[in-house]
Amino acid sequence: MRGKNPVRRQEVGDGQALWVQEVFYTLQGEGPFFGQPSVFVRLAGCNLRCFWCDTDFESSDWHPDLDELLEKIESLRKPSCDLIVLTGGEPFRQNIVPLVEDCLSRGLRVQIETNGTLWLPLPEDPGLTIVCSPKTPKLHSETSRRINAMKYVVKKGEQSEKDGLPAASTQVEGDSATLARPGPGHLVYLMPLDEQEEEANRQNLEACVETCLEYGYRLTVQGHKSWGVD
């Protein structure tokens, strides 16, 4: 969206219908489930406006009820795939609790990709993984407690000298901001910012590699782009 999206508030209904951008079957290209077959459910709308975001999450007018959405997921999911990834936009902007509970009850794993600023009362279940890519200095306290992994998007030259993590605002280009830092036990992944320019991308990847080697973080890349899949 490149910072052109409306900033949308959290709209918590009964969760029996959701605004969905798209549902698709692919390989997870980032984070702790890198390379695993997954059904992605991209929820529409976001409560933040990141100026470098390259994802479309506003163009859909699809508002499926829960049964229709689950039927779509099952129509795409292969028997060997048990991973459902909820992303956005910002998934916590809508009431995803019924969807998560239904997927877990079917024996499926659920990964939620969130910016960490919103929360909903989700079950504490070993099949649920919350990956936070912080875009603000503070996270919702309950989200912070439940996070399994942190994923930071890194641009060379915009890192803290203290820990190598981002020190620039995601909301106002050129401003500085110390994004929320990981807590005890959080896995930390670094991913290079895709600037759509070969040399800049090479430098961002190099910065991630050097920082991971220095601080013990884990490197992740947008594998789906190099694999030629969505």
**Per-residue pLDDT tens over the stretch 177-212:** 999 999 888 999 999 988 889 999 999 999 999 999
**Per-residue pLDDT tens over the stretch 19-44:** 999 999 999 999 999 999 999 999 99
In a domain, 202, yes or no: yes
Query: 68-82, 180-194, 216-230 — which is least confidently predicted?
Result: 216-230
In a domain, 62, yes or no: yes
Smallest CA-to-CA distance from 222 within 50, 23, 55 is with: 55
What confidence score (pLDDT) does residue 141 get? 94
Average pLDDT, the chain: 93
**C-alpha span between 118 and 115 (Å, rounded):** 8
Categorize the per-residue pLDDT at 4 as very low, low, confident or very high, splitting at 50, 70 and 90: confident
What confidence score (pLDDT) does residue 35 get? 93
Categorize the per-residue pLDDT at 115 as very low, low, confident or very high, splitting at 50, 70 and 90: very high
CATH of the domain at 131: 3.20.20.70
What confidence score (pLDDT) does residue 227 get? 55
What confidence score (pLDDT) does residue 184 get? 86
Name the strand (E) or helix (H) holding 228: none
Q: Beta partners for 150? A: 132, 188
In a domain, 165, yes or no: yes
**Per-residue pLDDT tens over the stretch 132-183:** 999 999 999 999 999 999 999 999 999 999 999 999 999 998 899 999 999 8
The domain tally of the chain equals: 1
In a domain, 35, yes or no: yes
Categorize the per-residue pLDDT at 226 as very low, low, confident or very high, splitting at 50, 70 and 90: low
What confidence score (pLDDT) does residue 88 get? 94
In a domain, 27, yes or no: yes
132 is in which domain, residue-wise? 20-227
In a domain, 141, yes or no: yes
Q: Which residues contact 163 (CB under 8 A, 6 or more apart)?
A: 181, 215
In a domain, 5, yes or no: no
pLDDT at position 222 over 80: no
pLDDT at position 113 over 90: yes
Categorize the per-residue pLDDT at 52 as very low, low, confident or very high, splitting at 50, 70 and 90: confident
The distance from CA 148 to its chain's CA centroid, rounded to whole angstroms, is 12
Give the global pTM. 0.92
- As a dihedral over the C-alpha atoms of residue 212, residue 110, residue 73, residue 59, rounded to 10 degrees, the angle is -60
**C-alpha span between 94 and 118 (Å, rounded):** 10
In a domain, 25, yes or no: yes
